[in-house]
Chain A
Amino acid sequence: MQKALLIDPDKCTGCLQCEMACSFEHEGRFNPSRSRIRVFTFHHEGCFVPYACTQCADAWCLQACPVEAIVDDRTLGVKRVVDERCVGCKVCTIACPFGTINYSQASGKVIKCDLCGGDPACARACPTTAIRYTDADQTGYEKMRRWAARSITAAEATA
Protein backbone atom coordinates (compact mmCIF):
# COMPACT_ATOMS: atom_id res chain seq x y z
CA MET A 1 0.00 0.00 0.00
CA GLN A 2 1.11 3.56 -0.76
CA LYS A 3 2.16 5.74 2.12
CA ALA A 4 0.94 9.22 2.87
CA LEU A 5 1.43 11.92 5.45
CA LEU A 6 -0.95 11.32 8.29
CA ILE A 7 -1.57 14.49 10.24
CA ASP A 8 -3.17 14.60 13.65
CA PRO A 9 -3.70 18.27 14.52
CA ASP A 10 -4.66 17.34 18.11
CA LYS A 11 -1.07 16.31 18.76
CA CYS A 12 0.54 19.40 17.21
CA THR A 13 2.12 21.81 19.69
CA GLY A 14 3.07 24.39 17.06
CA CYS A 15 6.82 23.90 17.58
CA LEU A 16 7.48 24.34 13.83
CA GLN A 17 10.19 21.67 13.74
CA CYS A 18 8.48 20.32 10.61
CA GLU A 19 8.84 23.65 8.80
CA MET A 20 12.49 23.88 9.81
CA ALA A 21 13.20 20.34 8.67
CA CYS A 22 11.34 20.76 5.40
CA SER A 23 13.09 23.97 4.43
CA PHE A 24 16.47 22.50 5.37
CA GLU A 25 15.79 19.38 3.34
CA HIS A 26 14.71 21.28 0.23
CA GLU A 27 16.56 24.57 0.44
CA GLY A 28 19.60 23.70 2.51
CA ARG A 29 18.74 26.21 5.20
CA PHE A 30 16.33 26.81 8.02
CA ASN A 31 13.73 29.14 6.62
CA PRO A 32 10.13 28.27 7.49
CA SER A 33 8.78 30.61 4.83
CA ARG A 34 10.21 28.24 2.23
CA SER A 35 8.79 25.15 3.86
CA ARG A 36 6.43 22.96 1.82
CA ILE A 37 4.55 22.07 4.97
CA ARG A 38 3.07 24.93 6.98
CA VAL A 39 1.63 25.05 10.46
CA PHE A 40 -1.50 27.16 10.74
CA THR A 41 -2.42 28.70 14.08
CA PHE A 42 -5.95 28.90 15.41
CA HIS A 43 -5.92 31.34 18.32
CA HIS A 44 -9.60 30.99 19.13
CA GLU A 45 -9.48 27.24 19.39
CA GLY A 46 -5.95 27.22 20.74
CA CYS A 47 -4.76 24.68 18.21
CA PHE A 48 -2.33 24.19 15.35
CA VAL A 49 -2.85 22.47 12.03
CA PRO A 50 0.15 21.34 9.97
CA TYR A 51 -0.80 21.17 6.33
CA ALA A 52 0.88 20.20 3.08
CA CYS A 53 -0.11 18.92 -0.33
CA THR A 54 -2.23 15.78 0.02
CA GLN A 55 -1.02 14.46 -3.38
CA CYS A 56 -4.68 14.48 -4.40
CA ALA A 57 -5.90 12.27 -7.19
CA ASP A 58 -7.34 15.16 -9.18
CA ALA A 59 -3.92 16.77 -9.37
CA TRP A 60 -5.26 20.17 -10.30
CA CYS A 61 -1.72 21.55 -10.41
CA LEU A 62 -0.51 18.89 -12.81
CA GLN A 63 -3.57 19.25 -15.05
CA ALA A 64 -3.22 23.02 -15.30
CA CYS A 65 0.51 23.05 -16.05
CA PRO A 66 1.07 24.26 -19.62
CA VAL A 67 4.42 22.50 -20.10
CA GLU A 68 4.19 19.21 -18.18
CA ALA A 69 6.48 20.43 -15.43
CA ILE A 70 4.51 18.54 -12.78
CA VAL A 71 4.58 14.77 -13.04
CA ASP A 72 2.79 11.94 -11.32
CA ASP A 73 5.31 9.61 -9.70
CA ARG A 74 3.06 6.61 -9.23
CA THR A 75 5.48 4.47 -7.27
CA LEU A 76 5.53 7.02 -4.46
CA GLY A 77 2.07 8.43 -5.07
CA VAL A 78 3.52 11.90 -5.37
CA LYS A 79 3.03 14.82 -7.75
CA ARG A 80 6.47 16.25 -8.31
CA VAL A 81 7.68 19.54 -9.85
CA VAL A 82 10.32 19.10 -12.54
CA ASP A 83 12.41 22.21 -11.95
CA GLU A 84 14.11 22.10 -15.34
CA ARG A 85 10.74 22.44 -17.09
CA CYS A 86 8.89 24.80 -14.75
CA VAL A 87 8.72 28.26 -16.34
CA GLY A 88 7.32 29.89 -13.21
CA CYS A 89 3.96 30.86 -14.78
CA LYS A 90 2.12 30.11 -11.48
CA VAL A 91 -1.06 28.83 -13.08
CA CYS A 92 -0.82 25.78 -10.80
CA THR A 93 -0.81 28.05 -7.73
CA ILE A 94 -4.30 29.30 -8.54
CA ALA A 95 -5.56 26.00 -9.92
CA CYS A 96 -4.80 24.08 -6.71
CA PRO A 97 -7.94 24.58 -4.58
CA PHE A 98 -6.03 23.64 -1.42
CA GLY A 99 -3.38 26.34 -1.73
CA THR A 100 -0.56 23.85 -1.31
CA ILE A 101 1.62 24.67 -4.30
CA ASN A 102 3.41 27.97 -4.06
CA TYR A 103 5.71 30.17 -6.06
CA SER A 104 9.22 30.74 -4.81
CA GLN A 105 10.52 34.14 -5.81
CA ALA A 106 14.03 32.92 -4.99
CA SER A 107 14.07 30.10 -7.54
CA GLY A 108 11.50 31.51 -9.96
CA LYS A 109 9.73 28.13 -9.84
CA VAL A 110 6.90 26.57 -7.89
CA ILE A 111 7.43 24.40 -4.84
CA LYS A 112 5.29 21.71 -3.26
CA CYS A 113 5.57 18.70 -1.00
CA ASP A 114 7.31 15.78 -2.71
CA LEU A 115 7.35 13.52 0.35
CA CYS A 116 11.15 13.91 0.27
CA GLY A 117 11.34 11.00 -2.15
CA GLY A 118 9.82 8.62 0.39
CA ASP A 119 11.31 9.69 3.71
CA PRO A 120 9.58 12.94 4.69
CA ALA A 121 11.79 15.16 6.83
CA CYS A 122 8.76 16.71 8.56
CA ALA A 123 7.58 13.38 9.91
CA ARG A 124 11.09 12.55 11.10
CA ALA A 125 11.38 15.90 12.85
CA CYS A 126 7.98 15.92 14.54
CA PRO A 127 8.50 15.30 18.27
CA THR A 128 4.86 14.43 19.03
CA THR A 129 3.93 12.15 16.11
CA ALA A 130 1.42 14.74 14.94
CA ILE A 131 2.92 14.07 11.51
CA ARG A 132 3.48 10.48 10.55
CA TYR A 133 4.33 8.85 7.28
CA THR A 134 2.22 5.78 7.13
CA ASP A 135 -0.12 3.65 5.04
CA ALA A 136 -2.61 5.81 3.24
CA ASP A 137 -5.77 4.68 4.97
CA GLN A 138 -9.20 6.03 5.58
CA THR A 139 -8.68 8.01 8.75
CA GLY A 140 -8.36 11.70 9.56
CA TYR A 141 -6.35 13.57 7.00
CA GLU A 142 -7.02 11.03 4.29
CA LYS A 143 -10.78 11.37 4.83
CA MET A 144 -10.47 15.08 4.70
CA ARG A 145 -8.53 15.05 1.49
CA ARG A 146 -11.07 12.76 -0.13
CA TRP A 147 -13.92 14.93 1.03
CA ALA A 148 -12.25 18.11 -0.09
CA ALA A 149 -11.34 16.68 -3.45
CA ARG A 150 -14.86 15.43 -3.97
CA SER A 151 -16.46 18.74 -3.08
CA ILE A 152 -14.47 20.57 -5.73
CA THR A 153 -14.86 17.89 -8.35
CA ALA A 154 -18.58 17.93 -7.80
CA ALA A 155 -18.62 21.68 -8.14
CA GLU A 156 -16.96 21.35 -11.50
CA ALA A 157 -18.84 18.58 -13.20
CA THR A 158 -21.44 16.06 -12.23
CA ALA A 159 -22.67 12.97 -13.90
Chain B
Amino acid sequence: MQHLIVGAGPAGVHAAETLRRLDPDAGILLLSGEAEPPYSRMAIPYLLSRHIDEAGTWLRPSPEHFQRHRIDVRHGLVERIDSTHNRIHLNDGSRLDYDRLLLATGASPRQPPVAGVELPGVLPCWTLEQARAIARRLQPDLPVVLMGAGFIACILLEALLRRGARVTIVEREPHMVPRMMNPTAASMLKRWVEAKGARVLTGHAVELIEPNGDGLRVCLDHGEPLEARLVIPAAGVSPNIGFLRDSGIGLDQGIVVDRHLRTNIDNIFAAGDVAQGPDFSSGGFQVQAIQPTAVEHGRIAATNMTRDGALCHAGSLNMNVLDTLGLISTSFGNWRGAPDGEQVELLDEAGWRYLNLQFDGDHLTGASSLGHSDHIGVARGLIQGRVALGEWKTRLLREPTRLMEAWLARSLAAAPSG
Protein backbone atom coordinates (compact mmCIF):
# COMPACT_ATOMS: atom_id res chain seq x y z
CA MET B 1 0.00 0.00 0.00
CA GLN B 2 1.46 3.39 -1.01
CA HIS B 3 0.25 6.37 1.01
CA LEU B 4 0.98 9.81 -0.36
CA ILE B 5 0.56 12.85 1.85
CA VAL B 6 0.70 16.27 0.24
CA GLY B 7 1.68 18.87 2.81
CA ALA B 8 4.18 18.56 5.68
CA GLY B 9 2.56 20.78 8.29
CA PRO B 10 1.04 19.44 11.53
CA ALA B 11 -1.80 17.66 9.71
CA GLY B 12 0.53 15.88 7.28
CA VAL B 13 3.12 14.95 9.89
CA HIS B 14 0.60 13.57 12.40
CA ALA B 15 -1.05 11.64 9.57
CA ALA B 16 2.28 10.12 8.47
CA GLU B 17 3.10 9.07 12.04
CA THR B 18 -0.35 7.57 12.56
CA LEU B 19 -0.07 5.64 9.30
CA ARG B 20 3.28 4.24 10.35
CA ARG B 21 1.91 3.16 13.73
CA LEU B 22 -1.12 1.42 12.23
CA ASP B 23 0.53 0.00 9.13
CA PRO B 24 4.17 -0.99 9.69
CA ASP B 25 4.64 -2.17 6.09
CA ALA B 26 3.04 0.65 4.10
CA GLY B 27 5.02 3.01 1.93
CA ILE B 28 4.61 6.56 3.24
CA LEU B 29 5.66 9.57 1.22
CA LEU B 30 5.34 13.01 2.82
CA LEU B 31 5.59 15.83 0.32
CA SER B 32 6.42 19.33 1.49
CA GLY B 33 5.81 22.32 -0.73
CA GLU B 34 8.64 24.24 0.91
CA ALA B 35 12.37 23.62 1.00
CA GLU B 36 12.40 23.14 4.79
CA PRO B 37 12.19 20.26 7.21
CA PRO B 38 8.56 19.84 8.35
CA TYR B 39 7.87 22.83 10.59
CA SER B 40 5.12 24.63 12.49
CA ARG B 41 3.85 27.94 11.21
CA MET B 42 2.71 28.64 14.76
CA ALA B 43 6.31 28.92 15.91
CA ILE B 44 7.16 31.69 13.44
CA PRO B 45 6.33 34.58 15.79
CA TYR B 46 8.84 33.19 18.30
CA LEU B 47 11.46 33.01 15.59
CA LEU B 48 10.80 36.66 14.71
CA SER B 49 11.08 37.71 18.33
CA ARG B 50 14.34 35.71 18.58
CA HIS B 51 13.09 33.37 21.29
CA ILE B 52 14.09 30.44 19.11
CA ASP B 53 16.21 29.69 16.06
CA GLU B 54 14.86 27.97 12.95
CA ALA B 55 15.35 24.49 14.38
CA GLY B 56 12.99 25.56 17.15
CA THR B 57 10.16 25.72 14.60
CA TRP B 58 10.59 22.14 13.43
CA LEU B 59 7.69 19.84 14.17
CA ARG B 60 10.17 17.11 15.11
CA PRO B 61 13.49 18.24 16.53
CA SER B 62 15.38 15.05 15.78
CA PRO B 63 16.77 15.16 12.22
CA GLU B 64 16.53 11.36 11.96
CA HIS B 65 12.91 11.22 13.10
CA PHE B 66 11.31 10.71 9.71
CA GLN B 67 13.98 8.32 8.50
CA ARG B 68 13.63 6.27 11.65
CA HIS B 69 9.91 5.92 11.03
CA ARG B 70 10.52 5.20 7.35
CA ILE B 71 8.62 8.29 6.28
CA ASP B 72 10.03 9.44 2.97
CA VAL B 73 10.08 13.24 3.12
CA ARG B 74 10.39 14.95 -0.25
CA HIS B 75 10.03 18.48 -1.55
CA GLY B 76 7.99 19.66 -4.49
CA LEU B 77 4.84 21.49 -5.45
CA VAL B 78 1.82 19.60 -6.73
CA GLU B 79 0.38 21.17 -9.83
CA ARG B 80 -2.38 18.78 -10.71
CA ILE B 81 -4.08 15.59 -9.56
CA ASP B 82 -5.10 12.87 -11.95
CA SER B 83 -7.48 10.86 -9.83
CA THR B 84 -8.38 8.49 -12.65
CA HIS B 85 -4.81 7.18 -12.70
CA ASN B 86 -4.07 7.76 -8.99
CA ARG B 87 -1.22 10.07 -9.86
CA ILE B 88 -0.07 13.56 -8.97
CA HIS B 89 1.93 15.86 -11.19
CA LEU B 90 4.60 18.13 -9.71
CA ASN B 91 5.73 21.50 -11.04
CA ASP B 92 9.12 20.07 -12.03
CA GLY B 93 7.41 17.69 -14.47
CA SER B 94 7.77 14.60 -12.28
CA ARG B 95 4.90 12.38 -11.19
CA LEU B 96 4.06 10.31 -8.14
CA ASP B 97 1.64 7.40 -7.86
CA TYR B 98 -0.48 6.55 -4.87
CA ASP B 99 -3.01 4.06 -3.56
CA ARG B 100 -4.34 6.45 -0.93
CA LEU B 101 -3.86 10.20 -1.06
CA LEU B 102 -4.13 12.72 1.77
CA LEU B 103 -4.41 16.41 0.92
CA ALA B 104 -2.98 18.50 3.75
CA THR B 105 -1.89 21.59 1.89
CA GLY B 106 -2.97 24.09 4.54
CA ALA B 107 -4.07 27.65 3.93
CA SER B 108 -2.51 30.94 2.93
CA PRO B 109 -3.18 34.50 4.03
CA ARG B 110 -5.91 36.02 1.94
CA GLN B 111 -4.59 38.55 -0.55
CA PRO B 112 -6.41 41.80 0.25
CA PRO B 113 -8.24 43.20 -2.79
CA VAL B 114 -6.22 46.39 -2.68
CA ALA B 115 -4.06 47.99 -5.35
CA GLY B 116 -0.40 47.88 -4.39
CA VAL B 117 -0.34 44.59 -2.43
CA GLU B 118 2.17 43.30 -5.00
CA LEU B 119 4.73 45.99 -4.09
CA PRO B 120 8.05 44.72 -2.66
CA GLY B 121 7.47 46.06 0.86
CA VAL B 122 4.21 44.14 1.27
CA LEU B 123 4.98 40.75 2.81
CA PRO B 124 2.69 38.23 4.42
CA CYS B 125 4.10 36.31 7.39
CA TRP B 126 3.02 32.74 6.81
CA THR B 127 6.03 30.67 5.75
CA LEU B 128 9.58 30.39 7.09
CA GLU B 129 10.82 31.97 3.88
CA GLN B 130 8.55 34.98 4.40
CA ALA B 131 9.58 35.19 8.06
CA ARG B 132 13.24 35.36 7.01
CA ALA B 133 12.45 38.19 4.61
CA ILE B 134 10.61 40.08 7.34
CA ALA B 135 13.36 39.43 9.89
CA ARG B 136 15.91 40.92 7.47
CA ARG B 137 13.94 44.15 7.28
CA LEU B 138 13.10 44.56 10.94
CA GLN B 139 15.03 47.22 12.76
CA PRO B 140 14.33 49.63 15.59
CA ASP B 141 11.75 52.29 14.73
CA LEU B 142 10.77 50.63 11.44
CA PRO B 143 7.24 51.79 10.64
CA VAL B 144 5.10 48.69 10.06
CA VAL B 145 1.43 48.45 9.11
CA LEU B 146 -0.46 45.29 9.98
CA MET B 147 -3.51 44.88 7.76
CA GLY B 148 -6.08 43.22 9.97
CA ALA B 149 -6.39 42.89 13.74
CA GLY B 150 -7.20 39.22 13.77
CA PHE B 151 -5.69 36.38 15.67
CA ILE B 152 -2.50 36.06 13.61
CA ALA B 153 -1.97 39.83 13.52
CA CYS B 154 -2.13 40.01 17.31
CA ILE B 155 0.41 37.21 17.68
CA LEU B 156 2.76 38.93 15.23
CA LEU B 157 2.33 42.23 17.04
CA GLU B 158 4.31 41.07 20.04
CA ALA B 159 7.24 39.91 17.92
CA LEU B 160 7.26 43.16 15.94
CA LEU B 161 7.21 45.37 19.03
CA ARG B 162 9.95 43.31 20.66
CA ARG B 163 12.10 44.02 17.66
CA GLY B 164 11.45 47.72 18.16
CA ALA B 165 9.13 48.30 15.21
CA ARG B 166 6.54 51.09 15.31
CA VAL B 167 3.32 49.26 14.54
CA THR B 168 -0.04 50.50 13.30
CA ILE B 169 -2.86 48.00 13.01
CA VAL B 170 -5.64 48.72 10.55
CA GLU B 171 -8.84 46.73 10.98
CA ARG B 172 -11.92 47.07 8.83
CA GLU B 173 -14.28 45.71 11.49
CA PRO B 174 -15.36 47.96 14.36
CA HIS B 175 -13.38 45.86 16.87
CA MET B 176 -10.27 43.71 17.15
CA VAL B 177 -10.16 39.90 16.79
CA PRO B 178 -13.82 39.69 15.76
CA ARG B 179 -13.59 35.92 15.26
CA MET B 180 -12.68 35.20 18.85
CA MET B 181 -13.98 37.91 21.14
CA ASN B 182 -17.01 40.11 21.64
CA PRO B 183 -16.93 43.92 21.65
CA THR B 184 -16.52 44.10 25.45
CA ALA B 185 -13.37 41.98 25.49
CA ALA B 186 -12.11 43.51 22.26
CA SER B 187 -12.32 47.06 23.57
CA MET B 188 -10.29 46.05 26.62
CA LEU B 189 -7.75 44.42 24.34
CA LYS B 190 -7.55 47.55 22.22
CA ARG B 191 -6.86 49.73 25.25
CA TRP B 192 -4.20 47.25 26.39
CA VAL B 193 -2.47 47.23 23.01
CA GLU B 194 -2.52 51.01 22.79
CA ALA B 195 -1.09 51.30 26.29
CA LYS B 196 1.76 49.02 25.19
CA GLY B 197 2.65 51.35 22.37
CA ALA B 198 0.93 50.20 19.18
CA ARG B 199 -1.57 52.26 17.25
CA VAL B 200 -4.91 50.61 16.50
CA LEU B 201 -7.26 51.94 13.83
CA THR B 202 -10.45 49.90 13.94
CA GLY B 203 -13.24 50.67 11.50
CA HIS B 204 -10.67 51.70 8.88
CA ALA B 205 -10.07 50.03 5.56
CA VAL B 206 -6.88 50.13 3.50
CA GLU B 207 -7.79 51.43 0.04
CA LEU B 208 -4.47 51.68 -1.70
CA ILE B 209 -0.79 51.04 -1.12
CA GLU B 210 1.60 53.12 -3.18
CA PRO B 211 5.35 53.63 -3.41
CA ASN B 212 6.62 56.59 -1.43
CA GLY B 213 10.34 57.25 -1.81
CA ASP B 214 12.11 54.23 -0.27
CA GLY B 215 8.97 53.13 1.50
CA LEU B 216 5.24 52.88 1.11
CA ARG B 217 2.21 55.01 1.68
CA VAL B 218 -0.90 53.24 2.93
CA CYS B 219 -4.08 55.14 2.06
CA LEU B 220 -7.18 54.53 4.17
CA ASP B 221 -10.86 55.02 3.42
CA HIS B 222 -10.81 57.96 5.82
CA GLY B 223 -8.18 59.83 7.75
CA GLU B 224 -4.49 60.51 7.11
CA PRO B 225 -2.47 58.05 5.02
CA LEU B 226 0.16 56.01 6.89
CA GLU B 227 3.85 55.91 6.10
CA ALA B 228 5.33 52.40 6.22
CA ARG B 229 8.47 50.48 5.31
CA LEU B 230 6.75 47.15 5.72
CA VAL B 231 3.09 46.17 5.30
CA ILE B 232 1.98 42.76 6.55
CA PRO B 233 -1.40 41.53 5.27
CA ALA B 234 -3.00 39.42 8.02
CA ALA B 235 -6.71 39.59 7.32
CA GLY B 236 -7.94 36.03 7.19
CA VAL B 237 -6.76 32.92 5.44
CA SER B 238 -8.04 30.83 2.57
CA PRO B 239 -7.38 27.13 1.98
CA ASN B 240 -4.82 26.12 -0.65
CA ILE B 241 -7.18 24.49 -3.14
CA GLY B 242 -6.22 26.29 -6.35
CA PHE B 243 -4.39 23.27 -7.80
CA LEU B 244 -7.55 21.14 -7.36
CA ARG B 245 -9.84 23.18 -9.63
CA ASP B 246 -10.12 20.55 -12.37
CA SER B 247 -9.44 17.49 -10.24
CA GLY B 248 -13.05 16.41 -9.78
CA ILE B 249 -12.58 16.73 -6.01
CA GLY B 250 -15.50 18.53 -4.36
CA LEU B 251 -14.62 22.05 -3.18
CA ASP B 252 -16.48 24.68 -1.21
CA GLN B 253 -14.73 26.98 1.33
CA GLY B 254 -12.13 24.25 1.52
CA ILE B 255 -12.03 20.63 0.40
CA VAL B 256 -15.42 19.03 1.07
CA VAL B 257 -15.09 15.94 3.28
CA ASP B 258 -17.41 13.59 5.16
CA ARG B 259 -17.09 12.59 8.82
CA HIS B 260 -14.32 10.16 7.88
CA LEU B 261 -12.45 13.10 6.31
CA ARG B 262 -12.84 11.41 2.96
CA THR B 263 -13.45 13.50 -0.16
CA ASN B 264 -15.98 12.60 -2.84
CA ILE B 265 -13.25 10.42 -4.36
CA ASP B 266 -12.93 7.16 -2.49
CA ASN B 267 -9.18 6.96 -1.97
CA ILE B 268 -8.57 10.68 -1.42
CA PHE B 269 -8.78 12.27 2.04
CA ALA B 270 -8.19 15.79 3.33
CA ALA B 271 -6.98 17.17 6.67
CA GLY B 272 -6.04 20.41 8.39
CA ASP B 273 -6.51 24.01 7.28
CA VAL B 274 -7.40 22.91 3.76
CA ALA B 275 -10.31 20.70 4.83
CA GLN B 276 -13.84 21.84 5.52
CA GLY B 277 -14.18 19.41 8.41
CA PRO B 278 -16.87 18.65 10.98
CA ASP B 279 -17.43 21.38 13.58
CA PHE B 280 -18.40 20.20 17.05
CA SER B 281 -20.52 23.21 18.00
CA SER B 282 -22.71 23.70 14.94
CA GLY B 283 -22.81 20.09 13.81
CA GLY B 284 -21.95 21.38 10.34
CA PHE B 285 -18.70 21.63 8.39
CA GLN B 286 -16.23 24.52 8.40
CA VAL B 287 -12.63 25.49 7.80
CA GLN B 288 -11.28 26.17 11.29
CA ALA B 289 -7.65 26.78 10.39
CA ILE B 290 -6.23 26.07 13.84
CA GLN B 291 -3.39 23.85 14.98
CA PRO B 292 -5.32 21.46 17.30
CA THR B 293 -7.84 20.74 14.55
CA ALA B 294 -5.07 20.06 12.02
CA VAL B 295 -3.54 17.51 14.40
CA GLU B 296 -6.89 15.87 15.08
CA HIS B 297 -7.68 15.70 11.36
CA GLY B 298 -4.30 14.19 10.56
CA ARG B 299 -4.80 11.40 13.02
CA ILE B 300 -8.42 10.65 12.10
CA ALA B 301 -7.87 10.79 8.32
CA ALA B 302 -4.83 8.53 8.54
CA THR B 303 -6.70 6.00 10.66
CA ASN B 304 -9.45 5.86 8.05
CA MET B 305 -6.90 5.56 5.23
CA THR B 306 -5.63 2.30 6.68
CA ARG B 307 -8.78 1.07 8.42
CA ASP B 308 -11.73 1.83 6.23
CA GLY B 309 -14.26 3.93 8.11
CA ALA B 310 -12.76 3.13 11.52
CA LEU B 311 -13.20 6.64 12.92
CA CYS B 312 -16.25 8.84 12.50
CA HIS B 313 -15.41 12.40 13.54
CA ALA B 314 -17.99 14.05 15.79
CA GLY B 315 -16.38 17.39 15.13
CA SER B 316 -13.48 19.55 16.23
CA LEU B 317 -14.02 22.20 18.85
CA ASN B 318 -13.04 25.60 17.55
CA MET B 319 -10.73 27.13 20.15
CA ASN B 320 -8.02 29.71 20.39
CA VAL B 321 -5.59 31.12 22.87
CA LEU B 322 -3.86 34.39 22.21
CA ASP B 323 -1.20 36.25 24.14
CA THR B 324 -1.26 39.88 23.08
CA LEU B 325 1.69 41.59 24.74
CA GLY B 326 1.04 39.74 27.98
CA LEU B 327 -2.76 39.82 28.02
CA ILE B 328 -4.00 36.27 27.48
CA SER B 329 -7.35 35.66 25.82
CA THR B 330 -9.12 32.43 24.95
CA SER B 331 -12.26 31.35 23.16
CA PHE B 332 -13.99 28.00 22.97
CA GLY B 333 -16.83 26.60 20.89
CA ASN B 334 -19.97 28.65 20.63
CA TRP B 335 -18.59 31.63 22.58
CA ARG B 336 -21.03 33.99 20.87
CA GLY B 337 -23.89 32.04 22.40
CA ALA B 338 -27.23 30.95 21.03
CA PRO B 339 -30.13 33.39 20.63
CA ASP B 340 -32.18 31.62 23.32
CA GLY B 341 -29.23 30.44 25.43
CA GLU B 342 -28.22 31.72 28.84
CA GLN B 343 -24.99 33.51 29.54
CA VAL B 344 -22.98 34.96 32.36
CA GLU B 345 -20.36 37.66 32.15
CA LEU B 346 -17.77 38.76 34.67
CA LEU B 347 -16.03 42.03 33.94
CA ASP B 348 -13.14 43.61 35.84
CA GLU B 349 -11.91 46.43 33.63
CA ALA B 350 -9.33 47.75 36.07
CA GLY B 351 -7.89 44.27 36.61
CA TRP B 352 -7.90 43.45 32.87
CA ARG B 353 -10.08 40.43 33.41
CA TYR B 354 -13.16 39.22 31.60
CA LEU B 355 -14.95 35.89 31.53
CA ASN B 356 -18.01 34.94 29.54
CA LEU B 357 -19.79 31.57 29.67
CA GLN B 358 -22.55 30.41 27.34
CA PHE B 359 -25.02 27.70 28.23
CA ASP B 360 -27.59 25.68 26.38
CA GLY B 361 -29.90 23.92 28.79
CA ASP B 362 -27.81 21.83 31.15
CA HIS B 363 -24.57 22.25 29.18
CA LEU B 364 -21.75 24.70 28.72
CA THR B 365 -21.49 25.39 24.99
CA GLY B 366 -19.02 28.24 24.76
CA ALA B 367 -16.57 30.35 26.73
CA SER B 368 -14.32 33.32 26.20
CA SER B 369 -11.89 35.01 28.51
CA LEU B 370 -9.37 37.76 28.93
CA GLY B 371 -6.83 37.62 31.72
CA HIS B 372 -8.13 34.28 33.01
CA SER B 373 -5.87 31.47 31.93
CA ASP B 374 -5.41 29.10 34.87
CA HIS B 375 -7.05 25.71 34.27
CA ILE B 376 -8.85 27.23 31.29
CA GLY B 377 -8.60 24.00 29.27
CA VAL B 378 -11.34 22.59 31.44
CA ALA B 379 -13.76 24.71 29.41
CA ARG B 380 -12.99 22.34 26.57
CA GLY B 381 -13.63 19.33 28.81
CA LEU B 382 -16.99 20.69 29.93
CA ILE B 383 -18.10 21.66 26.44
CA GLN B 384 -16.82 18.74 24.41
CA GLY B 385 -17.52 16.16 27.10
CA ARG B 386 -21.11 17.48 27.15
CA VAL B 387 -20.91 17.35 30.91
CA ALA B 388 -24.37 17.62 32.46
CA LEU B 389 -23.98 20.51 34.90
CA GLY B 390 -26.98 19.90 37.15
CA GLU B 391 -26.87 22.25 40.15
CA TRP B 392 -23.48 23.48 38.99
CA LYS B 393 -25.10 25.52 36.26
CA THR B 394 -26.71 27.79 38.85
CA ARG B 395 -23.42 27.95 40.71
CA LEU B 396 -21.52 28.90 37.56
CA LEU B 397 -24.09 31.57 36.74
CA ARG B 398 -23.25 33.05 40.15
CA GLU B 399 -19.52 32.30 40.17
CA PRO B 400 -18.31 31.72 36.61
CA THR B 401 -14.66 31.33 37.62
CA ARG B 402 -15.41 27.98 39.27
CA LEU B 403 -15.20 26.00 36.04
CA MET B 404 -12.66 23.59 37.43
CA GLU B 405 -14.76 22.84 40.48
CA ALA B 406 -17.78 22.27 38.24
CA TRP B 407 -15.82 19.82 36.15
CA LEU B 408 -14.41 17.97 39.15
CA ALA B 409 -17.76 17.73 40.87
CA ARG B 410 -19.70 16.65 37.82
CA SER B 411 -17.18 14.20 36.46
CA LEU B 412 -16.66 12.65 39.89
CA ALA B 413 -20.42 12.36 40.11
CA ALA B 414 -20.72 10.82 36.68
CA ALA B 415 -17.75 8.43 36.90
CA PRO B 416 -18.93 4.91 37.49
CA SER B 417 -18.38 4.10 41.15
CA GLY B 418 -17.20 0.91 42.80
Contact = CB atoms under 8 A, between A and B. Distances in A.
> Is A bound to B?
yes
Interface stretch (A14-22, A73-81, A96-104): A96-104
Contact of B384 (A63, A68, A93, A97): A97
A156 B384 contact: yes
Contact of B321 (A42, A51, A93, A105): A93
B70 to A, nearest CB: 19
A64 B311 CA distance: 19
Interface string A126-159: 0000000000000000011001100110111111
A84 to B, nearest CB: 9
B7 to A, nearest CB: 15
Contact of A97 (B40, B57, B58, B385): B385
A158 B311 contact: yes
B385 A91 contact: no
Given A94-B319, A158-B311, A87 B377 contact: no
Contacts of B42: 66, 89, 91
A64 to B, nearest CB: 5
A154 B313 CA distance: 9
A40 B59 contact: no
Given A40-B404, A97-B377, A67 B59 contact: yes
Contacts of B380: 94-97, 152
A75 B385 CA distance: 30
Nearest to A154: B314
Contacts of B58: 67
Contacts of B57: 67
Given A85-B61, A155-B314, A95 B386 contact: no
Interface string B321-359: 101001010101000000000000000000000000000
B82 interface: no
Nearest to A90: B321
B323 A99 contact: no
B77 interface: no
A101 B65 CA distance: 26
Interface string A32-56: 0000001011101100010100000
Interface in B357-390: 373-381, 384-387
B317 to A, nearest CB: 8
Nearest to B58: A67
A99 B378 contact: yes
B310 interface: yes
Most A Cβ at <10 Å: residue of B14, B323, B373, B377: B377
Given A67-B43, A147-B411, A159 B310 contact: yes
Contacts of B310: 159
Interface of A: 9, 38, 40-42, 44-45, 49, 51, 60, 63-64, 66-68, 85, 87-103, 105, 143-144, 147-148, 151-152, 154-159
A-B complex: 3 closest residue pairs judged by Cβ atoms? A99-B378, A97-B381, A99-B375
12 contacts: A44-B395, A51-B408, A67-B58, A91-B291, A94-B332, A99-B376, A143-B415, A144-B415, A151-B387, A152-B380, A152-B384, A156-B384
